[in-house]
Amino acid sequence: MKIIKLLIVGILITVFSANSDAQYVLDGVYQKEHTVKRRVIPYAHLREGDVMWLHRVWRRIDLREKINYPLYYPTTPINDRKNMFDVIRESLLESGTMTAYSPGPIGTDDEFTTPMTVEEVKGILSSVDSQYVEDPITEELELVVQNVDVESQEIVWYEIKEEWFFDRQRSVMDVRIIGICPMREKFNDFGESQGPQALFWIYYPEARYVFNQQEVYNRQNDSERRTLEDIIWSRQFGSYITKESNVYDRFINEYKGGLDALLEAEKIKEMLFLQEHDVWHF
């Protein structure tokens, strides 16, 4: 009797293992393990007494620029790649490895003062739309209510808050990103553009652990793909400055416009470069 039971158990194990093997297909020539097991490079220790100079800057990444395509594509997730917004959304709504912070009622709060719940994030990323549609049979208007989700291709900007500083202990000018804010274009009831709309802020030191395990496309070599953390760490993205720390706490577009705003952004960028040069010259 025991022998018969053992035979039955053996047959069942064989059948289940055969079914599981049949369902799993390796899409490639090897199993990727490097990115999954990577560890985040820790920041160098920084003491307040070693910071000789510090300046806070806000930047905007436009994903429509060619250099920023690795952050924007693919717009629909595939087996081995997702765009930056899909990674953030999955971490907020599914795995809970990130925390979203409210930008405030007018979208200007970037100090991580108000953490958002999962339901609040869902309320931002999904809205209810209602409209009257004519029934083809009765020719009467019927109210149709449907959920409208924010698509990843709608996110065309990221606002970045960072701090540039000179560390005299290491004798280097360094920069560290404090937060990232995904933004989409806002429209009024008449379909007119109202400019970028901030969705929420992400604390970047927390997001690094998620970005470090997400590959992005490398047009030169598929076996040497970088991660989102690699791109941001090595500053391989295009951006322009929208604000610097100032006594009025105002953005550049509040006191400059058009070409003058671009020139002001370049002026701030040059100031950061000259600050490092002047420290070394001294």
Residue 262: CB atoms within 10 Å: 14
Let me know: does 52 contact 279? Beta carbons within 8 Å: yes
Backbone dihedral angles phi then psi of residue 141, each to the nearest 5 degrees: -80, 130
Q: What are the CA-CA distances from residue 138 to residues 142, 144, 145 (Å)?
A: 10, 15, 19
Contact status, residue 162 vs residue 137, Cβ threshold 8 Å: no
Contact 67, 238 (CB under 8 A): yes
CB 213 within 8 A of CB 195: no
Amino acid, res. 147: N
Tell me the pLDDT of the chain (282 aa) as tens digits: 556 655 555 555 554 554 544 466 877 777 777 777 788 989 999 999 999 999 999 999 999 999 999 999 999 988 888 999 999 999 999 999 999 999 999 889 999 999 999 999 999 998 777 677 777 777 777 767 677 788 999 999 999 999 999 999 998 999 999 999 999 998 887 778 888 999 999 999 999 999 999 999 888 888 888 899 999 999 999 999 999 999 999 999 999 999 999 999 999 999 998 887 777 655
Task: Dump the DSSP string for the chain.
Answer: -HHHHHHHHHHHHHHHHHHHHHH---SSSS---TTTT--PPPPPP--GGGEEEEEEEEEEEETTSGGGHHHH--SS--SS---HHHHHHHIIIII--S-EE---TTS---S--SB--HHHHHHHHEEEEEEEEE-TTT--EEEEEEEEEPPGGGEEEEEEEEEEEEETTTTEEEEEEEEEEEEEEEE-TTS-EEEEEE--EEEHHHHHHHHTT-B---SS-GGG--BHHHHHHTT-S--EEEEE--TT---GGGT--THHHHHHHHHHHHHHHHHHHHHHH-
**Closest C-alpha among 181, 154, 194 to residue 242:** 181
Phi-psi sector, 191: left (phi>0), alpha (psi -120 to 50), beta: left
Q: Which residues contact 105 (CB under 8 A, 6 or more apart)?
A: none
CA atoms of 142 and 235, how far apart (whole Å): 52
End-to-end CA, the chain: 90
The closest alpha carbon to 198, from 158, 163, 232, 161, belongs to 158
Q: Which residues lie across from 56 on neighbouring strands?
A: 163
